[in-house]
């Protein structure tokens, strides 16, 4: 009897938010105001994080600026479709270091819903973390001080405070 072993990839991290903001504002605060809602403790920079930048174009950089002015790459913009969608390459490996040859993807869609916007977030291709994929998924989802869940809560709070 031939028994095949099938490897199941870790599920993408998905979160949907209904925010009290226009589609344009929701997109702008997510992409252009990330430094205002990203947790400062989630920094690659030894000097601490001053800002997070997503360059507003296909092929743009995604990086942080340290308090000392230095820059640490996080990834790049794969698709910029303001104000409906942004697709980002997350190029931080399982050791939390930038790797230009490594990539998972983050897609965020912004859909107008009256005076609100539905923000659909998905971090996928987590199987690319290899043997550490399940552990990394757990950290990114709810671990490491709240993971994406806490970061997106911070985004929503920042967005609705304006």
Q: What's the pLDDT at 7?
A: 54
pLDDT band at 3 (very low <50, low <70, confident <90, very high): very low
How do residues 86-103 score in pLDDT, each as one tens digit? 999 999 999 999 999 999
**Residue boundaries of the structural domains of the chain:** 16-161
Query: Would you say 58 and 50 are in contact if contact means Cβ atoms under 8 Å apart?
Result: no
CB count in 10 Å sphere of residue 69: 9
64, β-bridge pairs:
52, 72
Q: Yes or no: say if 69 and 87 are a contact pair by the CB < 8 Å rule.
A: no
**CATH superfamily of the 16-161 domain:** START domain (3.30.530.20)
- C-alpha dihedral (16, 17, 22, 28), degrees to nearest 10: -80
Q: Which of the two residues, 8 and 117, has the higher pLDDT score? A: 117
């Amino acid at each position: 009897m031939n028994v095949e072993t099938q490897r199941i990839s870790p599920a993408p991290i998905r979160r949907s938010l209904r925010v009290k903001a226009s589609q344009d504002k929701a997109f702008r605060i997510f992409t252009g105001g990330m430094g205002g809602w990203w947790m400062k403790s989630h920094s690659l920079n030894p000097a601490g994080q001053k800002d997070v930048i997503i360059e507003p174009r296909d092929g743009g950089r995604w990086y942080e600026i340290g308090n000392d002015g230095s820059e640490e790459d996080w990834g790049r913009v794969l698709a910029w479709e303001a104000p409906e969608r942004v697709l980002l390459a997350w190029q931080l490996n399982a050791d939390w270091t930038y790797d230009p040859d490594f990539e998972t993807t983050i897609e965020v869609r912004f859909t107008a819903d009256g005076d609100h916007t539905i923000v659909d977030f998905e971090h996928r291709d987590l199987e690319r973390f290899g043997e550490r994929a399940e552990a990394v998924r757990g950290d990114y989802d709810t671990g490491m001080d709240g993971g994406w869940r806490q970061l997106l809560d911070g985004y929503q709070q920042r967005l609705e405070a304006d």
